[in-house]
Each structure stands twice: as structure tokens, then as C-alpha cells.
Structure 1
Amino acid sequence: MAGRRGARSGRGWDALPPRSSRHPSDEHPPGETPGGERERGNVPARRRRSSPGGYPRGDREGSAQPEQSESELAREICLRQLSVRPRTRAELAKALARKEISEEVIAEVLDRYDEVGIIDDAAFARAWVSSRHHGRGLARRALANELRQHGVDAEVASEALESLDDEDEAATARALVDRKLRTTHGAPEAVFRRLVGMLARKGYPAGVAIRAVKDALAARDAEAAEFADQIDADALADESSDPG
């Protein structure tokens, strides 16, 4: 019995397992952190991720871009404006002034753009006249007003408007009236006033507008033709142009 008790008191089947003398951190392989990352020297991996000097990546001293010059900013503004549609020199100058670009830099940048043909007011005016006349049916008077609003010089605008003559205006006015008549209904007198007003808003002189509508009504039907016969286009045009 004594021997058996002695056996039990020793390292037998019921003996407590020996306590490990290893530290919990020793359970990981040498040189590896609990997260599975290896160390180099005495610097843990997590600490090595920080940039030298404590700066976040991409924010180190010396990585900032140099400040943009006023000329570079002016060119950038112009290119953004021109990417939307062609602009006149006056439009670009106004856009630069709104951004507080100095007059000296504005003149310098726009002079250079003039030299290389990036801006060309004469070409702008010609394209504008062609597009707005054929696309919207605008007459010379309305086109001249639009070019003035875009800052085109009066002489340059006049040269562009020379591409349209009286015959062009008369033909365009008649085409506009014919197209509008397809969807316009009512008494001939009301239709007449409505269509003459439409042409006037597009810049057509009173004589051109009245004649275009009269001729279109004469070709429409018997009732409209009878009304058209009573219209004295010249007298109405004189009344419209009389300032009194």
C-alpha cells in the first residue's frame, strides 16, 4: 500500500502536468509576432509601417506640388471655357476678370491665343451667322445683336453678315411661315398677326415679314387668300417703321 501511495504521489497517472516555464509569447516562432508578421531586428512589423519622420505616405516634406502661376491659371480657365464651345476674345477676357486675373496676364495670354489661332473672332462670327440663320431662322438684325452680346467688333460682325442678302432672308422667312402654318389654326386675321409677330422676334424687317405671311396665306385656302388680297404690304410696313 505504501508503495502504491508513493507511486501516486510521484509522477504517475494522476499527477498534475508540469507547469510550463515558457512565456505565452514564446508560443510563436522566433521572429514572428502574434499576428503572424515577422520582425526585423528590434522593430516590430506594425511599427515599421509608419513612414520615417512620422509623415503619412504621400505627405512627406517636399512632396507638395509647386504653386500654380497666374499665367498657368489663366490658360487653364481659357481651355475649360473653350472645351464647352468656341469663345470670343471678349468672352474669355470677361471669364478671366471674374477669376481676378490681372489685366496684364489677360492681355498676354489672349494675345498669344490670337497669334496661334486658338481664338478667332472673325471665324467665330462667320460660324455663328451660318449656324443661327440656318438652324433657328434668325435674320441679320437679330444676328447682329447676338454677335454684339458676344463681344464681336461691329466691323467684324458686318463682314460676317454679308454672307446673307435680302433674297436669303426672304426665302428663310417664307420657309418659317410655311412650316408654322401647318400647326396654326384660327381666323386668317389672327393667324396673320401671329406669324408676323413670330418673324419680327427673329429680327425680320416689317416689310419682309408681312410679304412672307401674305404670300403664304394666299396659297393656303380660299378664305385665307381672300384676306391676303386685302393686305397692302407696303402700307403696313410703312406704318410699322413709322416711329410716331
Structure 2
Amino acid sequence: MNAERKVTALKVQKRNPNRVNVYLDGEYAFGLSRIVAAWLQVGQVLSEEKICSLQQEETREAAYQRALHYLSFRPRSEAEVRRKLLEKGFDQLLVEEIIERLRAERWLGDSEFARLWTENRTTFRPRSRRLLRFELRQKGVSEDHIEEALHPLAEESELAYEAGIRYARRLTSLQPDVFRKRLTAFLARRGFSYGTIAPVVRRICSEQEMEQPKT
């Protein structure tokens, strides 16, 4: 037979107004987020089953809020969110439920994540398709979503040129041989092959020479 307990007080926590302390039969029982505690009323009688359900709902809400907080800093892949929630101690079934909820609410989706990641990298820190592919794989993105994100990109030589010409502006005071070596090493770090790097470096060096004032 299930024991029943009466809600005798609901007190908003002083340090966290988004949480409520629940008192049953005159004693503190547990804390709940305000969204979970919203339907409770003083004088209400709760069965053990209902108390258990409330606590499960609280865990579910905590996992959801944790995921939203993690996503608030920058877009994340599904694998990143999954890994974060598991690290925080939430069980696998609950984590998958939260992932599905975030997908449904469009907070999460690997197709959009891969597109945003690729666009951001290409705009602010251009790199090779190979390095972009590696980064997205590290984020747990599927090959289909990676291909979809990489498809609209410019040719590899243009990506290398875009990366190289930006970096070259920092090297204008260097001697030509040092300029060439630094630029070549930079493009290699950005994941471009030598076959792509060599003609791009020649192109940039030629443009730099043409811009030098005649003496």
C-alpha cells in the first residue's frame, strides 16, 4: 500500500529563485525547479508513486537545462551534447530522450551544425576540406552530413589562396625566402597538400612582388 504525504510548504530558494523547496508533512523533502513544481499546492496529498514521478521529471528537466546551457555558448554536434550529459551522470535512456527533444525543438541537428561549423571556419579561419572533414568527424558528425556541408565550398586551391593571402599580410616585412617558408608552413598546418600549396604560394609571392614599389 502506497504511503501518502501532504505538501505542507513550498518555499522559493533564496539563492536560486528558479528552484522551490518542497516540504512534506512539515519536513523538507526535496528541491524542484519551478517549472516542475508549478502545479503543486500546499495541502495537496502525494502518493509515493507521484513523488517518484516528480523526482524523475526533475532529473529530466535538469538534463534538458544542462543541454541548453551547453548549447548557449556555440552550436554543438549531437555527439558533443550526448557526451556532455553522460559525463554529468545522466543515464543513457534519458540522454537519448533529451537529444530527441532538442532535435524536435530545432536546438540541435548535425546537418545544421556541420553547415555552421564549415561556414564559420571558412569565413574566419580558412582551411582545407581535409582538415574540415577531420574536425567534423572529431565532433561525431556522420559522413553524409559532412559531405552535405563541404559540397558548396570553393575549390581546394581557392580555399588555400584565401587562407594564404590573409596570413601573407602579416609577413610583408620578411625577406622573400623567409616569406615563402612561413607561408608554406602555415598552409600545411591548415591541412593543405603540397600539390595545392606550391602553386598558391607562387601566386601570392608573384602578387606581392607586383605590389612592391619600383625603385
- The normalised TM-score by structure 1 is 0.60
Aligned-residue sequence identity (percent) comes to 30
* TM-aligned CA distance change 1:63 to 1:149, over 3 Å: same
Whether 1:192 and 2:215 are equivalent positions in the alignment is: no
What CA distance in whole angstroms lies between the structure 2 residues aligned with 1:206 and 1:86? 32
Unaligned stretches of 5+ residues in structure 2: 1-20, 33-53
1:144-164, Cα deviation, whole Å (9 max, x unpaired): 111112111122111111111
The 8 Å contact of residues 127 and 163 in structure 2, kept in 1 or not, is answered as: no
* Per-residue deviation, 1:177: 3.0
Matched residue count: 164
Tell me how large the CA RMSD over aligned residues is.
2.5
* Per-residue deviation, 1:84: 1.5
Q: Which residue of 2 aligns with 1:23?
A: none
What CA distance in whole angstroms lies between the structure 2 residues aligned with 1:220 and 1:180? 12
Residue from 186, 199, 206 that aligns with 2:194: 206
Whether 1:74 and 2:63 are equivalent positions in the alignment is: yes
* TM-aligned CA distance change 1:190 to 1:90, over 3 Å: same
The residue type paired with residue 208 of structure 1 is T
Query: Residues 4-83 of structure 1: matches in 2 within 5 Å?
Result: 61=26, 65-66=31-32, 68-69=55-56, 70-83=59-72
What CA distance in whole angstroms lies between the structure 1 residues aligned with 2:22 and 2:84? 34
The residue type paired with residue 130 of structure 2 is R
What CA distance in whole angstroms lies between the structure 2 residues aligned with 1:177 and 1:154? 28
Q: Which residue of 2 aligns with 1:137?
A: 126
- The normalised TM-score by structure 2 is 0.67
What CA distance in whole angstroms lies between the structure 2 residues aligned with 1:216 and 1:59? 69
* Per-residue deviation, 1:59: 9.9
Computing the radius of gyration over CA atoms, which structure comes out larger, 1 or 2?
A: 1
Q: Which residue of 2 aligns with 1:127?
A: 116
Deviation larger for 61-70 or 176-185: 61-70
Instruction: Say which SS state the counterpart of residue 218 (structure 1) adopts.
Output: helix
Q: Which residue of 1 aligns with 2:150?
A: 161
